[in-house]
Amino acid sequence: MSKFIKVAALLAAGAVAFGSAANAKTLRLNHNNPEDHPLHKSMEFMADRLEELTNGDLKIRIYANAQLGTQRESMELMQNGALDMARSNASELEAFEESYGALNLPYIFVNDDHYYDVLSGDIGADILKASEDKGFIGVAYYVEGARSFYANKEINSPADLQGMKIRVQPSPSAIRMVELLGGNPTPIAWGELYSALQQGVVDGAENNPLALTSARHGEVSKVYSNDGHTMIPSVVMISTKSWNELSDDHKDALTTAAKESMDFHREQWDAMVAEGIETAKNELGVKFVEVEKGPFIEAVLPMHEEAAAKSEKVADLIKRIKEIAPQ
């Protein structure tokens, strides 16, 4: 309840602050990354474009570092209409809308271009809209590259994961993947992961390379084994309540700003990851290991059939994703 009270107070303060600014409306967006992270910069780009497209009538105020709650707390606040916007990712969103599960399957994407074609096309749009009756709508995807395992030892094959406690997001797909690979999946909140790695609560984790620097995980995990098992996008969402309160012009402007920010984000992502890898190597002493992906792919491939068998909606999305894969 304290989180709801905190957000309510901020909303009330915002109403006073902007009451004199004609009919200007400000949407509040919460996320759990620092302000120097590419995701934050891309959300700033979206906010700037939205203000420009609406001549200042509609703005976004961004709260970094989980100021208004964890990813899950922000989701619940947004669903209840107490928070306008939030940024999470497809892995955590699977628990709220099953369609996102199709994006979380390991090795579902052939390469980066296939990944972006799915997100920026009709398939991605259908998934963003699928949750409207659940209290939120997706407006943009931000690529976060491929996720791999990191720990204090090399993970060259699934056999190396045997008996290891691996931090995962609270996602059925992530849990199942680590189980099939022989590890012990351990859901832990992002903000608690550094200390969990440091204290040995978990033996390793999985994420893109920027986790080593932006969250300083490279200080406590010294080997990044590049198996590239999943490519899970971040998702920026808006409360269905807040969306329905917007005029058609403002909806169009937000959609346009969000789409442009997706392209902006993709352009900056690769450069920032390359810089992050060099920092992790040179300043944190992290070793990067290229692994043979074949054994990993073979171990987790049953997940595709399992996911399709559980849901006709997800089965259709999997089929559509594979149909547009480059041959």
Query: What does the domain layout of the chain look like in residue ranges?
Result: 25-324
- pLDDT per residue as tens digits for the range 111-141: 999 999 999 999 999 999 999 999 999 999 9
Q: How many residues does the chain have?
A: 327
Q: What are φ and ψ of residue 294, in 5° steps?
A: -50, -55
- pLDDT per residue as tens digits for the range 206-222: 999 999 999 999 999 99
What is the C-alpha separation between 120 and 126, in angstroms, rounded? 10
What is the C-alpha separation between 232 and 284, in angstroms, rounded? 25
Beta partners for residue 234, in sequence order: 89, 142
Supply 243's token pair.
Answer: 């969306």
**Shortest CA distance to 44 belongs to which of 63, 57, 25?**
63
Instruction: Give the 3-state secondary structure percentages of the chain, helix then strand then coil, rounded to 5.
Output: 55, 20, 30
Q: pLDDT confidence of 5, banded at 50, 70, 90?
A: low
Supply 9's token pair.
Answer: 């107070």
Q: Where are the beta strands (DSSP E) in 146-290?
A: 147-151, 165-168, 184-187, 204-207, 223-230, 234-239, 287-290
pLDDT of 2 higher than 80: no
Angle at 287 between CA 281 and CA 288, to 5 degrees: 95
pLDDT of 17 higher than 50: no
- pLDDT per residue as tens digits for the range 158-216: 999 999 999 998 888 999 999 999 999 999 988 899 999 999 999 999 999 999 999 99
Q: pLDDT confidence of 15, banded at 50, 70, 90?
A: very low
Domain 25-324 has CATH 3.40.30.10: no
Residues 55-66 have a mean pLDDT of: 97
